Amino acid sequence: MAAEGGGKEMNEIKTQFTTREGVYKLLTHSEYSRPNRVPFNSQGSNPVKVSFVNVNDQSGNGDRICFNVGRELYFYIYKGVRKAADLSKPIDKRIYKGTQPTCHDFNHLTATAESVSLLVGFSAGQVQLIDPIKKETSKLFNEERLIDKSRVTCVKWVPGSESLFLVSHASGSMYLYNVEHTCGTTAPHYQLLKQGENYSVHTCKSKSTRNPLLKWTVGEGALNEFAFSPDGKFLACVSQDGFLRVFNFDAVELHGTMKSYFGGLLCVCWSPDGKYIVAGGEDDLVTVWSFLDCRVIARGHGHKSWVSVVAFDHYTTSVEESDPMEFSGSDEDFQDQMIHFGRDRANSTQSRLSKRNSTDSRAVSVTYRFGSVGQDTQLCLWDLTEDILFPHLPLSRTRTHTNVMNATIPPLGSTAVTNTPSNTINGNNSGASTPGLNSTTLPRSNSLPPPAGGPATTPTPTTTTTTTTATANSTNKAGTGGLTSGILDSAIATGVSKFATLSLHDRKERPHEKDHKRNHSMGHISSKSSDKLNLLTKSKADPAKTLGTLLCPRMEEVPLLEPLICKKIAHERLTVLIFLEDCLVTACQEGFICTWARPGKVGLLSSQNQASSPSGTVV
């Protein structure tokens, strides 16, 4: 799916691309950057990040954008597809000395036209609370670096809270803060609250309440990113040790786990209904993980380098009724369900997805759209369709061959999915975990391409969707399809299903080379083990022993997606991908934040754009 043609054409920057919804166009006049528009020398600096907030002002233009470039932080009115960006008048600009901003997050609950609360994390470990409208700095957390001295990797307000926020660090720790509390003048003392599989949670022991309220120690190496589920109840974390860990946030309990194909995991996001998690990282893959089944259901191969951001497009994700006779709600609800692809809005998408989840007898078609950007300067868009989500359905199963790369050429010794006796994953579990999803109609927007000779460098995958268990690793190196139900049952009985599944990556090496690389991706047990209980035994964490298990299925054991589009859109590595109602926003390490108008949303800039658009290749 990469750009067609020879070498020169492949290196040209694309200014538009086409999907089933129509043409997405780069709006050159809507580019945000430093006021001088000079490319930033990004060597050794932290990734450019972007945050949005809507302040609901009377003018109807309430969107605000914040982005960091090097030591600088900017806050502008974001005009999107409506008007050209005016870079000469930032609402607020800050230049920091001795430390650089690494990430930031707005509190959407408290935002008004007069005041916004913006958290900013820094490379030296501090977190600042600022109001860029009032141009105030209200508080600095971890100021003396007594709590954590390592770089802040991610900061987010706790959903639904005006005062709680969560901060992760390169040390592998996360801290829960309350903006109302102080951090104290001495290093905090901790008391163990809960411990589990390679994680522990401590409370802060002091006479008066102080920050941090909680300290999470998760995995080995840096905790690269975390994301709250749409309902705010669960927390997905990805770490440099290659693990995705999903926690029940309030109960402080591990829900499930997955392991990357090799290398660290760098990014994570949730589907609008909270049923699926996508992660990306150093194996150049995007991995789709089922929250309900706790297993990998697909991998996507399109990037040529590390995947830096993954994000679901709430506005293109679609749910449709497929059989009115099975509908059990009111006529009004039914009309609400019948919405065509590409016409959705985030709130209606989420409500319909939740309706689908709560009904056992309703047949629906669902397609999730998500995107990814990477250090290869490429943007990829992906569709997660019903035949991947529910492979145990007979009709869907046969259609999978049109969607999975090289699916028609199963490797020696393996069986295509149509012949796999155990394709009802986890046996008796599958019925309970996918309520009401027994549709026999495929979404008509299933636009994943036929296997027209996918990348020859990829290990030949099949559409075998069997979740291979730990016991299968020794018996089936090539991913034999004929796993018996006894093996599955024994795996469940031994608690393997308790771990969630993890498979996020795919490389271009032969199998023995993949094993070799993965031996270097885990890293050794961290020396700072005084705060963490490394309960995950070495045998469980050993890369050679996780490959081919529920934790990390082999490449041929799960469907391999091809991207809908895969386009080079920047000169430097990409660090941002955000889906908005009228556009999608990307940013690269040079400090340029680009707006791509959705089909039919070019608006006021269309005539200007056509006249002055750069001579990029149109594909």
pLDDT score, position 385: 92
pTM here is: 0.72
Per-residue pLDDT reduced to its tens digit, 505-549: 433 343 344 333 333 333 333 333 333 333 443 334 666 778 889
Average pLDDT of the chain, as a whole number:
75
Q: Which of 312, 242, 244, 245 is nearest to 282 (CA)?
A: 242
Q: With a cut of 50, list the residues of the chain below it in pLDDT.
A: 1-7, 322-348, 355-362, 395-540, 604-619
CA separation for the pair 311, 317 (Å, rounded): 12
pLDDT score, position 538: 37
* Distance linking the first and last C-alpha atoms of the chain: 12
pLDDT score, position 359: 42
- Whose structure tokens read 């990113």? 225
pLDDT score, position 537: 36
- In angstroms, the Cα distances linking 445 to 272, 317, 342, 384, 449 are 19, 11, 10, 11, 11
- The values of phi and psi at residue 107, to 5°, are -90, 105
Identify the sign of the CA torsion 428, 430, 434, 438: negative
pLDDT score, position 392: 67
Per-residue pLDDT reduced to its tens digit, 63-83: 999 999 999 999 999 999 989
- Strand pairing of 190-196 and 152-157? unpaired
